[in-house]
Amino acid sequence: MADRILHEITPLMGKDALYIADRRKKEFVYPIHNHEVYELNFVENAAGVRRIVGDSSEIIGNYDLVLITSPELEHVWEQNTCTSTDIREITIQFQFGLDECDSLFRKTPFLSIYNLLKEAQNGIAFPLPTIMKVYNLITTISQIEDRFETIMQFLRILHILSVEEGAHALATSAYAKVEIQDDSRRVLKVKNYINENYMYEIKLETLADIANMSQSAFSRFFKLHTGRTLSEYIIETRLGYATRMLLDTQESIANISFNCGYNNLSNFNRIFKRKKGCSPSEFRDKYRKKKIVI
């Protein structure tokens, strides 16, 4: 019980469109948590803070903007080395855009926002140039008295974020338990195969056969459609499951290594540390301590 996530009950009620919290603070003290509603979180003047979203851990600069649309994805901003005493944090919570009933967001003018919300199930962090483009809109939204105008300004924020480039996913899909989706049926079949067989040896020959392509053509095709090499994608998938097991089970690291497709524990430790910045045992100790009883 001591390692469970705090499930936050937000003030957003059924008929509410947005909940906006705009505050000044000296430090981050709220524990790691998740919640049913979606969240756009902006942080200013907090360089050195550590942002954790699922199995992602990054040190932020003076500006940070993250969108999360998964109810299961835990996240926290912790003080770390930040020495600022004038931190501004603006949190906008909402729950529309992905629900099947939200037919408006399937229409052409809103498709880019819909796709952004889908991608944000892993958590998305936006680069500084994008943050600056929405800075005035975010920092003034809490001052708008008219509710309709508030919604319009929020939609403008989402639209700008949805058409700008450079945002990057935070948690791995396997960790965030995000359903695999892709425009290419071939890539989708391959991803599903990897997701179902990550604990076994996965051969390029097998995946190329699934895609009905030569091995060299498939490797180029996969990189073109995913932005990652096949080996990078397999490692990401396996480590996503490994990090989830480290936190949610009492299994030994050796067993987790084996269950995630690594027959060599040393190799697993080396890859894990290269990708996560710490050893599996350090990851387990560090992140479990951040979870609290509910």
| Final residue belonging to a domain, choices 124, 145, 171 | 171
Q: Residue 53 and residue 49: Cα distance in Å, rounded?
A: 13
Asked if residue 147 and residue 44 are part of one domain, the reply reads yes
Q: Which residues fall within 8 angstroms of residue 171, CB to CB, at 6 or more apart?
A: 53, 54, 55, 56, 73, 122, 123, 240
Residue 133 within a domain:
yes
Same domain, 147 and 220: no
Q: What is the CATH number of the domain that holds 52?
A: 2.60.120.280
Please report, for residues 49, 203, 247, the alpha-carbon distance to residue 285 in angstroms, rounded to integers and kept in the order given: 20, 33, 9
Nearest to residue 65, comparing CAs of 123, 1, 148, 18? 123
Within-domain flag for 72: yes
User: Model's pTM, two decimal places?
Assistant: 0.74
Q: What is the CATH number of the domain that holds 202?
A: 1.10.10.60
Which helix H or strand E contains 208, and what residues bound it? helix 204-211
Same domain, 91 and 208: no
Domain containing residue 66: 6-171
Q: Which amino acid is at 52?
A: I
pLDDT tens string, the chain, 294 residues long: the values are 234 445 555 676 667 789 898 999 999 888 888 888 899 999 999 999 999 998 888 999 999 999 999 988 889 999 999 999 999 999 999 988 877 666 788 888 888 999 999 899 999 999 999 999 999 999 999 999 898 999 999 999 999 999 999 999 998 877 777 666 655 678 888 988 998 999 999 999 999 999 889 999 999 888 888 778 999 999 989 998 998 888 778 899 999 999 999 999 999 999 999 988 889 998 888 776 554 433
**Is residue 209 within 8 Å of residue 190, measured between CB atoms?**
no
Tally of domains within the chain? 2
